A and B are shown apart, each in its own frame.
Chain A
Amino acid sequence: MTDATATPTPTKSLTTSDAHMKKRNAAEKRFKAYGIAAIGAGLFFLVVLLASILTNGLTAFQQTFIEVPVYLDPAKLDKKGNRDPEEMAKVSTFGYAPLLQDGIFAQVEQKGIETPLAKSKDMKALISASAAAQVRDRVLANPDLVGQTVNVRFLASSRVDGYLKDRVTRESVARDKNIDAEHLDLVDALRAEGMVEKRFNWDFITGADASESRPEQAGIGVSMIGSFFMMLVVLFLALPIGVAASIYLEEFAPQNRFTDLIEVNISNLAAVPSIVFGILGLAVFIQFMHLPQSAPIVGGLVLTLMTLPTIIISTRASLKSVPPSIRDAALGLGASKTQSVFHHVLPLAMPGILTGTIIGLAQALGETAPLLLIGMVGYIATNVPDGIAAGFLDPNSAMPAQIYEWAKRADPAYYERAWGGIIILLLFLFAMNAIAIILRRRFERRW
């Protein structure tokens, strides 16, 4: 190695490309192309997903209503004529249904609409079963209405609604025993008269679930309340426990095998499939502690277990990102360890902690699997909880569980509602993630 200092003859220049260089450049180009293809595929699937959710679900926000004058016949509703609500309550919804049928039929005759449906009973197929209850409630709240003709706007049956939304067609009704093509002709005529129309349906967002015979009435409101109470439990349990655990582990705990073991297990816990927490909740909270089945408090407890590791991990990460110089400065000025943590470290880590918490909550909000096992599915969420205790303890559903439930039901009208429910759930998730991003952007400090 004597000629080590001799200048080597340049065999190749950097400016001229040889075979090896070309190969390397090609590899780089190929990799870029793969990357773009991967992103393109991802975007494509996202667009397909969103498009199918929107096309399938947006119709759920509109519902077909019928508006006709209805004569509240005193002979049927208040036989004794004393307008006593208690007496009148004996007339059930089955007594009210014919009045609505008469109402539509009177309009059919008055407007001279030609239809082979010659009886007022034939109008039954157009009307939602919920309409009679709606009129009955109105009459019982105001008995003086009896004897008057009032304008009532009520829900059309799900088949009529499906017809206006192109779900039900003339071919499909040929084999449907619930409605005939003549009914659809009549709907067309009534629609031309302005008595049948599609309107925005608030009840889908605020209303309760309904039985299988009246999908037109079902709403996601009650299960939204269920989700809300579950999230309260998760927030008030997972946040303090998670933050306390992380502060101790990060700031106070001695570094030994035992704390190492705990750390590893927390990370493991974050990767445990959520259904495992569901079965744990069933065994511990329901079978051992005898908490009520299907109650949001149990759902909240199960989701707390599931969210805890997420919150602990993100809290520890944001505590770690606070530079040690801040702790040292606090300690140097005579603050105790606790003071340095609570006065200086924690406030600086707070945006990160809140972001992690909100993301954890969003994850919990969309979780279905653990709820299957504690009975929040397979249950019809019709009762609005009266009061806070009832909100936690009365059986309820949750939004994703409600969507699952709708997707299972026999009537195809529920399918549309399942998609509509997905849109609402997605809006919640977007909103929560947006809040998390804003918090991080506005308050996070970097060193």
Chain B
Amino acid sequence: MTKFLTVSALALAVASPAFAQSRDNVQVAGSSTVLPYASIVAEAFGENFDFPTPVVESGGSSAGLKRFCQGVGEEHTDVANASRKIRDKEIKACAENGVTDIIEVRIGYDGIVFASQLDGPAYNAFTPSDIFNALAPKVVVDGALVDNPYTKWSDFNADLPAEEILAFIPGTKHGTREVFEEKVVAAGCEATGAMEAMIAGGMSEDDAEDACLEVRTDGRSVDIDGDYTETLASIDANANAIGVFGLAFYENNTDKLKVATMSGVVPSTESIASGEYPVSRPLYFYVKKAHIGVIPGLKEYAEFFVADEIAGPDGPLAEYGLVSDPELADTQALVSEEKTMGADM
């Protein structure tokens, strides 16, 4: 036993001193929506360059940007992935920690689709107003704002099937929720006149905007805090339910899901790129300029990410479901010039 103790003490002594080794790989953290794209790029990057494969972690846009903004130096991440634009508050937090020069890179667009069970009813006539009517706690009926009386889709739109309303929407911590609220719910709120009615009812405009984004709490709208796989499982169990997914997720699960149209447009990379399909968002990553030249391979990684063969319309990212950015050439120029945010804007 004594011998054993000595051996273990020795092993510990060998293991412990190496905390401060210099880093030779790019570290990336952030949005779980961008994660699959970033890992595809990281993998190809590792194959094609002599640099080690970048380390990609997820954890959400906000968490990624928070870590990114913690400071300059090897122990902090080099790149933050985000499924939304960086907020002013975050830029300020960054600046306080000395992270001032940030390069914003838009990699393309992601569509958000509504889908139901493959064998379930077809939802082919959605408009933002329908989603709002189905999910809002208060809706306009005959010109008056009342508690949502609808239980079936056909109650407010005869083109929709007479099925019980049940929707699985992303939880509030998801970046997807923000886009869903902004592009669908808020649009529906205005289109149905609910917003006007709220303001007429004595609410300030800001309050009305917030009230617009609320969802009913009687169990017909269910927040899913987990991943899309969880939403998929819920859809699997409820034939009449409708779920909110990313386009890429839907395209990988066409054997289980049937997509719904929005305002008459079928979501696809083409219809999103052309702007016809309304519910989409840009995806970004943010690079710490101070780390370029310090962390080997950082700039090469950023350039590789937006190269035509990766992020272009025929590249592996588009194949996975990213809608490639028509202005990709500008982004490439921006990266190669290392143009930071706020510079000549």
Which residues of A pack against B, CB within 8 Å?
A: 89, 92-94, 129, 133, 136-137, 168-169, 171-172, 175-178, 210-214, 232-233, 235-237, 239-240, 243, 290-294, 297, 342, 346-347, 350, 375, 378-380, 382-383, 388-389, 392-395, 407-412
Contacts and interface: CB of A to CB of B under 8 A. Distances in A.
A32 to B, nearest CB: 39
B296 interface: no
A408 B47 contact: no
A393 B19 contact: yes
Interface of chain B, main secondary structure: helix
A382 B43 contact: yes
Interface of B: 1-2, 4-5, 8-9, 11-12, 14-15, 18-19, 21, 25, 32, 35-36, 39-40, 42-44, 46-48, 50, 52-53, 55-59, 75, 227-229, 248-249, 251-255, 309, 316, 319-320
A172 B55 contact: no
9 contacts: A89-B50, A211-B42, A214-B43, A237-B8, A292-B75, A379-B55, A382-B46, A383-B46, A410-B253
B19 A213 contact: no
B42 A380 contact: yes
Given A93-B47, A375-B59, A389-B21, A383 B320 contact: no
Most chain A CB atoms below 10 A, which of B14, B18, B32:
B18
B267 to A, nearest CB: 12
A92 B57 contact: no
A375 B57 CA distance: 8
Nearest to B77: A293
B49 to A, nearest CB: 9
A389 B18 CA distance: 6
A410 B36 contact: yes
A290 B75 contact: yes
Given A378-B57, A407-B229, A410-B249, A342 B1 contact: yes
Considering the complex of A and B, which 5 residue pairs feature the smallest CB-CB distances, nearest first? A389-B18, A172-B255, A378-B58, A211-B39, A212-B36
A395 B55 contact: yes
Given A240-B8, A392-B15, A172 B53 contact: no
Nearest to A393: B18
B227 A408 contact: yes
B39 A408 contact: no
B5 A213 contact: no
Contacts of B39: 211-212, 380, 382
A394 B52 CA distance: 12
A169 B9 CA distance: 57
Contacts of B4: 239-240
B59 to A, nearest CB: 6
Contacts of A129: 44, 316
Nearest to B1: A346
Most chain B CB atoms below 10 A, which of A92, A94, A211, A394:
A211
B251 A379 contact: no
B42 A382 contact: yes
A176 B18 contact: no
B43 A211 contact: yes
A203 to B, nearest CB: 14
Nearest to B44: A93
Contact of B43 (A177, A210, A291): A210
Given A389-B18, A408-B227, A410-B248, A236 B43 contact: no
B2 A383 contact: no
